[in-house]
Amino acid sequence: MSIPAGRAVDPAHAASYRAREVHAPAPVVDGVWAVPVPLAGSALRSIIVYLVATSDGLVLIDAGYDHPSCWRSFQQSVADLGLRVGDITAVLVTHNHPDHVGFADRVRSESGARVMMAHLDDFAVMHATRGPFLTQLSAALAWTGAPADVVAWMYDDAVGVAEHHENLRLDHAFTEPVEDLHFGDVTIRAVHAPGHTYGHTVFHDTRGLVFTGDTMMAEGPTQLAIASRPDDDPAGDLFATLARIGDLGATIACPAHQFPYRDVAARAAELAAFHRAEVEAVREVATLGDTAWTVARRLTWKKPWDELGRGTRRFHLVHTLALMRAA
């Protein structure tokens, strides 16, 4: 799923992504800047955080890793744009993954900004209702029906890459499906958009932009949330979310990775079709009583199952479990 070059808001940004380079900070439209932050030690290479100018100060959307290199890069980029970290009055976090929550607290300490995220992704709420991330992963692996030794090594492998602080305190949590946030002359609408996480939020700047977090990149599929409880249906959640985004009327999508792009509704429809095809593939190979473990090994991946890397097998297994909930 590669978008036509003409959809990119800034062709140079798209070219940098495709060349595996980190693009320089740049405007998306007047008063909105895309600020790529390199992610030390991550295959993702970078996250794009966004700054929105309002008459009440700057609004930051997402906040990189909690790592000194990320913080230094962000500070330098803000200065290079002629802006000040001290002028940030709000940090809007799309979801609670470590590359999004990282330096939110540093910004708050520096500027007094209010940190906001959805109630369902508030770490305190998540811990009380689902448990920490690794607890959720352990539960999902058990639901897959994989042999005990496979579950054990998949979990052990994940500990080294998935363990992170889950203690960010919020100043405000979104509890409604839609909440309007007023920052002087700018209104940003927080829209509940589950699928990647259960509290994932997209932020619709009513001037025509939607900040999509990890829900809708310019290219490739969406990573589905971990199905750690019997009633979880991440793929079903995502289909509803993509329909909701397609109906917003936004003209530019600003994802947290890759690059900003146009034709938001078309991209939402394309992504929904891709994941519906995945669900259909599961239906075609699954029989009564099958587990995610048996189904995943029958699906077509880029390589035969036994030739996939250990981390890739874990990802595909958990992804298959999520797809099966919608099949």
Residue 24 located in a structural domain: yes
Query: pLDDT for 240-288, tens place per residue?
Result: 999 999 999 999 999 999 999 999 999 999 999 999 999 999 999 998 8
Query: pLDDT for 145-171, tens place per residue?
Result: 999 999 999 999 998 777 678 999 999
Residue 319 located in a structural domain: no
Residue 147 located in a structural domain: no
Residue 57 located in a structural domain: yes
Tokens of 282: 């599961």
Residue 303 located in a structural domain: no
CA nearest to 91, candidates 135, 60, 55, 136: 60
Domain count, the chain: 1
Residue 32 sits in a domain whose CATH number is 3.60.15.10
Q: Which of 41-50, 67-76, 181-190, 215-224 has the lowest mean pLDDT?
A: 41-50
pTM for this prediction:
0.95
Cα(48)–Cα(256) distance, integer angstroms: 5
Range of the domain at 219: 5-131+167-276
Residue 293 located in a structural domain: no
**pLDDT band for position 41 (cuts 50, 70, 90):** low
Cα(300)–Cα(277) distance, integer angstroms: 12
Mean pLDDT taken over the chain: 94
> Residues 57-81, buried b or exposed e (16+ Cβ, 10 A)?
bbbbbbbbbbbeebbebbbebbeee
Mention every residue, 6+ apart, whose C-beta is less than 8 A from residue 321.
Answer: 140, 143, 144, 227, 292
Residue 282 located in a structural domain: no
